[in-house]
Chain A
Amino acid sequence: MDTLDGTEWDVLIVGTGLPQSLLALALSRSGKKILHIDENGYYGGTEAAFSLQEAEEWEKHIDEDVSAAAFSNISITKSESAVSETTPSLSFSRAYSLALSPQLIYARSTLLQYLVSSKVYRQLEFLAVGSWWVYSAESDNMDNGEPSISSESGPRHGRLLKVPNGREDVFQDQVLDFKAKRALMRFLRFITEYEEQMEMWEDHRTKAFPTFLSEQFKIPITLHAPLLALTLSPSVSSQTTTEYALPRIARHLRSIGLFGAGFGSVIPKWGGMSEITQVACRASAVGGGVYVLGKRLSCIDGPTSADNSEEETSGFRLRLNDGEAISAQHVVGELSRPPISSATCCKSITIVSSPLPPLFPPIAEDAPPPACAVVVFPSGSLPLDADEQAAELPPIYIFIHNSDAGECAAGQSVLYASTTLTGEKGFQLLKKAVRALLLSVDVTPAPNVLWTLQYEQHPRPLISLLALDPDERPLDLLTDLAFDDSVLDHVKGIWQQIMGDSAGDFLVFEDREANQGDDDE
């Protein structure tokens, strides 16, 4: 078609972020006329992945349109160190696929089940998330068996302690004493059926989780950090409630072993959730959906008027950014525009010249090699200034993806760091964390930072159906570090409203004939 002007659609989907793309996938066999647009020149929206060049263009472009943007304060720093034969350097731009919103997907997540039932899983590859580490500020004075001589010459650094994944890890741990092991095991036994033991935690629901651990399980303070780490909580530890923490720890522990011994979550290969958005959109296109990038919804002219019927009008007349007038029965997008909201977190993407092997020990015999490691800096472990109250700072999470993830050149790794401290201080904290991490890993030659991208992220409203009298509560989707299944519930709700009675099963499809020949993984 030459122009979109005057076209009529059943569904207009605005934006190719993950929720929109999953909706498009859900509608891909419905036979509905779907127009799916994205204002960017790329797919993925807030879940997009960039090559180096795309990241640089993004940095330049995004400052042009500040209003209600998802990202702000973007800057790229390239390594200044001299490039020599021995110093590894940045590879070509397309060797990198850097995810703006990397997430873990837990094994029990319904997302994986839906990707299988909708048959698109064949186009995706998933890699295991391996060890979790917690940073401890106590400096390790016995580096390599030799006492570190002076703390003046080298920067002080702490060490990384592995988080136990279950009973057998606790059994083999050399650091914990018996009392600590017993306390931890009591908690692990509790968490496997915490829903049936309400009396243990009912009174502590809204109280701080660390307090709950001390009072109910006598867990020593040194063990609070690993347990809090498993919650991926963005808040300061004293603000993380028991009712928030328990289901998240349970999710983590219950997922272990589902896909293979020793691990409980996966990441998609090639650039985080962006790969899933692309596969979903592709499936929608195969089903007849029309895709146009660089197209924005400019304004909503009003409802379509029914010709002669007495039925409720249920469509809208809309205008796109080049003046095209279209109509659509349903319109879905992040439609409730919140007032310009302040950023809720700072993120950085750092390319590092080493695959950091000590952080990727094999998971278990015959388990797949890990492609992702999680490092957590608990609140209080990294002060910004000498007199700063470190305990008030939120935790920092760093996902490390090695080159198996297909997001960087071989021999390098990508550090995705995030924290809910915003502004300049947030960026400083992230830099500090990345530096501390690299110092506490025993790698020769010492790894270099090759390239850094930093940005602030703002909360996004959930996608919703355009309505004549909209519900005026834009709900925020906080950027969770692990995929939240409620996103799928939300998408399903919208899908049901669009499909009405002809809904059928959500995201359950038969193979298209063309796919019969594909190899099954």
Chain B
Amino acid sequence: MASHGVARVSGTNPAIRSEELRQKELEQIAAYNNLVDLVNFKVADRQYTVEVLDLTTRLLNENPEYYTIWNHRRRILLDLLLIPSSDDRPSTTLYRRGEELIHDDLQLTFALLRKFPKCYWIWNHRIWILQKGELSFNSASARKLWLGELQLVGKMLHLDSRNFHAWTYRRFVVAQLERMQASVTDTSLESVHSTQSLTESEFAYTTKMIKTNLSNFSAWHNRSKLIPMLLDERSADSAARRELLGDELALICTAINTDPFDQSIWFYHQFLMSTLSPKCASQNMIVRDLSNQDRQRYYAHEMEYIQDILEDETECKWIYEALLHCASCYLEIEGSTQAFTVLDMRGWLRELKRLDPLRRGRWDDLGRSLDIS
């Protein structure tokens, strides 16, 4: 199954199997089912022991998608983490044993993530483990734990920069790090400074990922999420905000001019356009003091350079869709304009229908809503 043009590399799928191989597989299936039955039985029997934990490890190594087993594992771990030692040893032993269990599960999930980087349950379990770990560690170790996670997710993204699980996880880790710094000392200058730098560095990280591969939906998306925070942390005034907007529009203009066929670029363009709209919520606005005249100027500029591309490229549907969208935004602010006419809009709609006939219904609908059909 291909995902957005990138082939998915799955396990081997032999079309022709020898009888020997088939027999072997049948044996493997039987063994697996036995293991499943065993685990389910023991858990139902509340045997929350290390032995059963190991059984779940075996099972999960074979099939990490079996989410019930992850639930069982967590039940067992909760129990193991709470058991006091049989003889009255000092609590450090308990602490160390807890540390071991957490460390083991981090290793397990890491190894599994290498093989199955897009399995929700592994990511969830890892988060659960980290949260449990944080509770039992002191704050310095906990912070190290989350910093380690940031490194891990960086590596995962290096292997596959478009893995949205990893991107979501990255945002989660960054949020944890920022939360920890906020709770340590609110007034310490150091923590304020380092909190700021995380957003800046994350923003720079998206720039780097985009420069490596323009088609990175998740990088563009992350960027859009970071911009409001970035502006707040910089205490950006109106001029600074306009500058950032200008820079982002220039960036996306270059990207569109380089590859108008790439969908992720247009998504980011739509995001930027949405921040211009008067309907945009104020916390999402980039520039907060836009006049209608400002808006019109932005829309007109966008439409101008996008129309220029039509000189060389007439087969790209995103261009026509973007023009219609910008035109309708423009018209909402001011009903009439010299920049383009209804005839222009009808022309763009026609091209859209020609290039993307499978979505004809959608384009007819668009025409009706724009009142140009």
Question: What mask results when residues 361 to 384 of chain A are scored 1 for a CB within 8 Å of chain B, else 0?
Answer: 000111000000000000000000
Chain A contacts of B151 at CB under 8 A? none
A254, chain B: closest CB distance, angstroms: 15
- The one of A168, A172, A183, A366 in contact with B158, judged by C-beta atoms closer than 8 angstroms, is A366
Contact present for B258 and A185 (CB under 8 Å): yes
Please name all residues of chain A whose beta carbon is closer than 8 Å to the beta carbon of B208 when the two chains form the complex.
365
Q: Which residues of B contact A179 (CB under 8 A)?
A: 312
Are the CB atoms of A168 and B257 closer together than 8 Å? no
Cross-chain contact of A185 among B212, B259, B308 (Cβ < 8 A): B259
Cα-based distance from A181 to B212 in the complex (angstroms): 17
Let me know if B312 and A167 touch, CB within 8 A: no
Known contacts A182-B312, A218-B312; A167 and B212 CB within 8 A of each other: no
Give the number of residues in B that approach A within 8 Å (Cβ atoms).
Answer: 18
Chain A residues lying within 8 Å of B280, measured Cβ to Cβ, are: none
Query: Is B212 a contact of A168 with CB atoms below 8 Å?
Result: yes
Interface residue? B238 (CB, 8 A): no
Q: Which of B188-234 contact A (CB under 8 A)?
A: 208, 211-214
CB–CB B211/A182 < 8 A: no
With a cutoff of 8 Å between Cβ atoms, the chain A residues found around residue B257 in the complex are 178, 181-182
A69 on the B face (CB < 8 A): no
Q: B212 to A186, Cβ gap below 8 A?
A: no
Taking the nearest CB of chain B, how far is it from the CB of A10, in angstroms?
37
| List of B residues within 8 angstroms of A170 by Cβ | 258
Instruction: Name B304-320 residues within 8 Å CB distance of A.
Output: 305, 308-309, 312-313
B254 at the interface (CB under 8 A from A): yes
Task: Decide if B255 is an interface residue (CB 8 Å cutoff).
Answer: yes
Chain A residue with Cβ nearest B208? A365
Within 8 A of B (CB), among A150-187: 167-168, 170-172, 178-179, 181-183, 185-186
CA distance A167 to B210 in the complex (A): 11
B258 A167 Cβ-Cβ under 8 A: yes
In the bound complex, residues from chain A placing their C-beta under 8 Å from that of B254 are 171, 178, 181
Q: Is A189 an interface residue (CB 8 A)?
A: yes
In the assembled complex, the Cα of A366 lies from the Cα of B154 at a distance in Å of 13
| A467 close to chain B: CB less than 8 A | no
A-B contact count (CB 8 A): 42
Closest to B213 in A: A168
Report Cα–Cα, A170/B313, bound state, in Å. Answer: 17
| Known contacts A181-B257, A185-B259; A168 and B214 CB within 8 A of each other | yes
CB distance from A4 to the nearest CB of B (A): 50
In Å, the complex CA distance between A124 and B24 comes to: 39
Question: Would you give the shortest CB distance from A164 to chain B, in whole angstroms?
Answer: 10
Report the interface size for chain A: residues with CB under 8 A from the other chain. 18
Interface residue? A116 (CB, 8 A)? no
Chain A's interface: helix, strand, loop or mixed, by majority? helix
Inside 8 A of A172's CB, which chain B residues have their CB?
A: 211
A332 to chain B, nearest CB (A): 39
A261 within 8 A of B: yes
Q: Is the CB of A182 within 8 A of B212?
A: no
Q: How far is the CA of A178 from the CA of B256 in the complex (A)?
A: 10
A261, B313: Cα distance in complex, Å:
29
| Chain A residues within 8 Å of B313, by CB | 182, 186
Chain A residue nearest to B158 (CB atoms) is A366
| CB of B123 closer than 8 Å to a CB of A | no
**Is B348 an interface position by the 8 A CB rule?**
no
A189, B261: Cβ atoms under 8 Å?
A: yes
User: How long is the Cα–Cα vector from A168 to B209 in the complex, in angstroms?
Assistant: 11
- 8 A Cβ contacts from B295-330 to A: 305, 308-309, 312-313
Give bound CA distance, A186 to B208, whole Å.
24
Chain A residue contacts of B212, Cβ below 8 A: 168, 261, 364-365
CB distance from B116 to the nearest CB of A (A): 23
In the bound complex, residues from chain B placing their C-beta under 8 Å from that of A181 are: 254, 257-258
Give the Cβ gap from B266 to chain A, nearest Cβ, in Å.
15
Give B312's nearest chain A residue, CB to CB.
A182
Given contacts A167-B259, A171-B254, A171-B258, A183 and B312 within 8 Å (CB-CB): yes
Q: A366 to B212: give the CA distance in the assembly, Å.
A: 12
Residue of B nearest to A217 (CB): B312
Q: Which residues of A contact B259 (CB under 8 A)?
A: 167, 171, 185
0/1 string, A421-436, CB within 8 A of B gives 1: 0000000000000000
List the B side residues contacting A178 at CB < 8 Å. Answer: 254, 257, 305, 308
* Residues 347-373 of A contacting B (Cβ, < 8 Å): 364-366
Convert A239-278 into 0s and 1s, putting 1 for each residue whose CB lies closer than 8 angstroms to a CB of B.
0000000000000000000000100000000000000000
Provide the bound-state CA to CA distance between A171 and B214, in Å: 9
CB distance from B250 to the nearest CB of A (A): 12
- When distances are taken between beta carbons in the complex, the residues of chain B under 8 Å from A182 are 257-258, 260, 309, 312-313
Separation in Å of the A196 CB from the closest CB of chain B?
16
**A residues less than 8 Å from B213 (CB atoms):** 168
Residue of B nearest to A189 (CB): B261
Taking CB atoms, residues of chain B closer than 8 Å to A183 are 312
Among B233-286, those with CB < 8 Å from A are: 254-255, 257-261
B312–A186 touching, CB < 8 Å: yes
How far, in whole Å, are A171 and B209 apart by their CA atoms in the complex? 13
In the complex the two chains form, what is the Cα distance from A179 to B257 in whole Å? 8
Which partner residue on chain A sits nearest B311 by CB separation?
A: A179
**Residue numbers in B under 8 Å from A366 (CB-CB):** 158
Q: How far is the CA of A167 from the CA of B214 in the complex (A)?
A: 8
> Which residues of the other chain, A, contact B261 by a CB distance below 8 angstroms?
189
CA of A218 to CA of B313, assembled, Å: 12
Most chain A CB within 10 A, of B254, B257, B261, is at: B257
Measured CB to CB, the nearest residue on chain A to B254 is: A171
Residue-wise, chain B 151-195 has the 8 Å CB interface mask toward A (1 for contact) of: 000000010000000000000000000000000000000000000
Residues of chain B contacted by A365 (CB below 8 angstroms): 158, 208, 212
> Please, which residues of chain B bring their CB within 8 A of the CB of A186?
312-313
Q: Are A171 and B255 in contact, CB atoms less than 8 angstroms apart?
A: yes
Which residues of the other chain, A, contact B214 by a CB distance below 8 angstroms?
167-168, 171
| Cα–Cα distance between A186 and B315 once the two chains are bound (Å) | 12
B201 to chain A, nearest CB (A): 15
Nearest Cβ on chain B to A185's Cβ, whole angstroms: 6
Nearest-neighbour CB distance to chain A for B310, whole angstroms, equals 11
Least distance between A444 CB and chain B CB atoms (Å): 30
A305 to B258, CA, bound (A): 71
**List of A residues within 8 angstroms of B309 by Cβ:** 182
Contact of B211 among A168, A189, A218 (CB under 8 A): A168
Q: How far is the CB of B200 from chain A (nearest CB, A)?
A: 19
Question: For the complex, what is the distance from the CA of A167 to the CA of B212, rounded to whole Å?
Answer: 10
Known: A182-B257, A185-B258, A364-B212. 15 other contacts (CB 8 A): A167-B258, A168-B212, A168-B214, A170-B258, A171-B258, A172-B211, A178-B257, A178-B305, A182-B309, A182-B313, A183-B312, A185-B259, A189-B261, A218-B312, A261-B212
Enumerate chain B interface residues (CB-CB to A < 8 A): 158, 208, 211-214, 254-255, 257-261, 305, 308-309, 312-313
A-B contact pairs, 16 of them (CB 8 A): A167-B258, A171-B214, A171-B258, A178-B254, A178-B257, A178-B308, A181-B258, A182-B260, A182-B312, A183-B312, A185-B259, A186-B312, A186-B313, A189-B261, A218-B312, A366-B158
Give 6 nearest A-B pairs by CB, closest first: A178-B257, A171-B258, A182-B312, A181-B258, A170-B258, A167-B259
